[in-house]
């Protein structure tokens, strides 16, 4: 041990390039330290996502178990058990401060793979009380960074979609279903092009939001299948060099058991290492969800606009003061966070797509930035949707009086006159009513198209929205 600046204690670690001073209280080794010093880009802000590190812990545990069964003379029971214990600690978040590396590193993610290998070896040796594990020879046995990082990416992405995003969207769908039932029979003005349109029931409007999200759920589930194919076993270039026969299939089976997702080994490892089309497809589903969330949030804040100078057809929860200068102002803040998240996800989609196009020869070397953007999108959407559901949608209430007023002032109700006086005459009534600020009835009667009695007989706005 040696001290530097009389504050931090260091120990000496070595790799194939020589010796490095490493903080004595950390489990990482020389390769992690080199990366930590060489890539001072976004430090503390843009480190490798925890979800990726957790996925690595699943991968490394499964790989150790598979190696123990296939080559027990190399992966002994003691080594396998120790690796498994450390992986469980990593998965439980107990060693998170041992993963300091930033996204902006090597494009294969080699340094993050080695960070995991070194931490598992360092912590494992501390548990064993001896030099039991080597980061390359034991923890990385039968593997390469080139097949482990794509595998961790698929594991993390699939878990994010299944365990976090789908439950969040489903909760919002259920909340909209409840609102549909509560608001059945309330008729309001429809709107297209931000202009008045024919009537619609409020429950029908909500059903459009709900149905969009249900379709998003279908697309998210569809995107899971390609993600279930894992690159592990392809090692450096897809040939499987230094991986024993059956390692790929056996490890995938163990990952499936650990995660509850039916992962399988990729049928073509050359594709699995060099192409990221599965993650592009999955992020496309995230972008579709973001687009729908943008639409829904905008609808909600338009309908809640006011309270006196806007549409004011719904009331949403008042969560925070809306202005530092205007007393009493309350803003649709939950809608705004949704729309900002949607913009971020759409931007991330461009980054993911461009990065995925850079699979030169046998490897894509934009893996960390793909992982960073995908995980951010899935996390932001999950948390944003939960917040929007709990703090806004669950508290939406109709302003029935305003809906009724807007409905009966709408000139597009003239559409109901088409079967009786024709499209052109109905248009004349609408224009006259608008120009003279009179009702449709007054315009229709003054133009001589219908008597007042006949107008009342055929004109029933609430019946125009068929449920």
How far apart are alpha carbons 58 and 258 in whole angstroms?
7
CB 408 within 8 A of CB 451: no
Residue 324 pLDDT: 78
How far apart are alpha carbons 139 and 83 in whole angstroms?
7
Distances (CA, A) of 255 to 56, 230, 238, 248: 11, 10, 20, 11
Residue 330 pLDDT: 84
Structure tokens at 89: 């600690």
Pick left, alpha or beta for residue 190 (phi over 0 → left; psi -120 to 50 → alpha; otherwise beta).
beta
Is 408 a residue of the active site? no
CB 13 within 8 A of CB 125: no
Is cis: bond before 280, omega within 30 of 0? no
Query: Domain spanning 11-141 has what CATH number?
Result: 1.10.275.10
Using a 10 angstrom Cβ sphere, with 0-12 exposed, 13-18 middle and 19 or more buried, the burial of residue 76 is: middle
Question: What is the distance of C-alpha 279 from the center of its chain?
Answer: 12
Question: Tokens 């894509």 appear where?
Answer: 364
Is cis: bond before 101, omega within 30 of 0? no
CB 282 within 8 A of CB 374: yes
Distances (CA, A) of 138 to 63, 135, 149, 246: 10, 6, 17, 18
**E strands, 16-109, in order:** 18-23
As a whole number of Å, the end-to-end CA separation of the chain is: 77
Which architecture characterizes domain 410-464 according to CATH?
A: Orthogonal Bundle (1.10)
Contacts of 338 (CB under 8 A, 6+ apart): 293, 294, 296, 297, 384, 385, 388
Residue 307 main-chain phi, psi, to 5 deg? -80, -15
Is 144 a residue of the active site? no
How far apart are alpha carbons 358 and 414 in whole angstroms?
57
Q: CATH topology of 11-141 equal to that of 410-464?
A: no
How far apart are alpha carbons 14 and 466 in whole angstroms?
75
Task: Check 6, 16, 193, 324 and give the catalytic one.
Answer: 193
Model confidence, pTM: 0.94
Question: What does R_g of the chain's alpha carbons equal in angstroms?
Answer: 30
Task: Check 6, 203, 211, 323 and give the catalytic one.
Answer: 323
For 375-388, the pLDDT digits (tens) are 999 999 999 999 99
Residue 5 pLDDT: 54
Q: Which of 72, 56, 73, 41 is nearest to 118 (CA)?
A: 56
Residue 328 pLDDT: 76
Which fold is adopted by the domain 158-180+190-227+268-400?
Answer: Fumarase C; Chain A, domain 2 (1.20.200)
Residues of the chain with pLDDT under 50: 1
Contacts of 235 (CB under 8 A, 6+ apart): 142, 143, 144, 146, 147, 241, 242, 243
Q: Where are the domains of the chain?
A: 11-141, 158-180+190-227+268-400, 410-464
Contacts of 28 (CB under 8 A, 6+ apart): 22, 36, 98, 100, 115, 118, 119, 122
Residue 4 pLDDT: 52
How far apart are alpha carbons 230 and 148 in whole angstroms?
9
Q: Can you name the residues that pair with 23 across neighbouring β-strands? A: 10
């Amino acid at each position: 041990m040696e001290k530097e600046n009389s504050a931090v204690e260091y120990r000496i670690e070595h790799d194939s390039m020589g010796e490095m001073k490493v903080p004595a209280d950390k489990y990482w080794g020389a390769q992690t330290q080199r990366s930590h010093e060489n890539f001072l880009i976004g430090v503390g802000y843009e480190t490798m996502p925890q979800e990726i590190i957790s996925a690595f812990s699943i991968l490394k545990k499964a790989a150790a178990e598979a190696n123990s069964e296939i080559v027990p003379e190399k992966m002994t029971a003691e080594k396998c058990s120790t690796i498994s214990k450390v992986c469980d600690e990593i998965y439980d978040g107990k060693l998170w401060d041992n993963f300091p590396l930033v996204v902006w590193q090597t494009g294969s993610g080699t340094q993050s793979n080695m960070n995991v290998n070194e931490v598992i070896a360092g912590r494992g040796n501390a548990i064993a009380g001896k030099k039991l594990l080597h980061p390359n020879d034991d923890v990385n046995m039968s593997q390469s960074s080139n097949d482990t990082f794509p595998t961790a990416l698929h594991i993390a992405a699939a878990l994010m979609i299944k365990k976090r995003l789908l439950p969040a969207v489903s909760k919002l769908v259920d909340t909209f279903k409840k609102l549909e039932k509560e608001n059945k029979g309330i008729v309001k003005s429809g709107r297209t092009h931000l202009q008045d349109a024919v009537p619609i029931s409020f429950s029908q409007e909500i059903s459009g939001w709900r149905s969009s999200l249900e379709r998003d759920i279908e697309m998210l589930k569809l995107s899971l299948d390609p993600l279930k194919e894992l690159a592990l076993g392809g090692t450096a270039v897809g040939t499987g060099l230094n991986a024993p026969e059956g390692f790929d299939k056996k490890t995938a089976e163990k990952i499936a058991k650990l995660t509850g997702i039916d992962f399988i080994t990729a049928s073509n490892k050359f594709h699995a290492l060099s192409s990221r089309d599965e993650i592009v497809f999955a992020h496309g589903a995230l972008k579709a969800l973001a687009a729908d969330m943008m639409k829904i949030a905008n609808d909600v804040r338009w309908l809640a606009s006011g309270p006196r100078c806007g549409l004011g057809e719904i009331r949403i929860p008042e969560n925070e003061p809306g202005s530092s200068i205007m007393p009493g102002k309350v803003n649709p803040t939950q809608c705004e966070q949704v729309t900002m998240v949607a913009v971020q996800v759409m931007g991330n989609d461009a980054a993911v797509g461009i990065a995925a196009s850079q699979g030169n020869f046998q490897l894509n070397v934009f893996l960390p930035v793909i992982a960073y953007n995908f995980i951010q999108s899935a996390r932001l959407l999950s948390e944003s949707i939960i917040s929007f559901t709990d703090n806004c949608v669950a508290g939406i209430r109709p302003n029935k009086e305003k809906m009724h007023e807007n409905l009966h002032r709408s000139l597009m109700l003239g559409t109901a006159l088409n079967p009786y006086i024709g499209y052109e005459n109905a248009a004349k009534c609408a224009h006259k009513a608008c120009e003279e600020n009179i009702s449709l009835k007054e315009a229709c009667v003054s133009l001589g198209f219908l008597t007042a009695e006949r107008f009342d007989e055929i004109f029933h706005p609430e019946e125009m929205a068929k449920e």
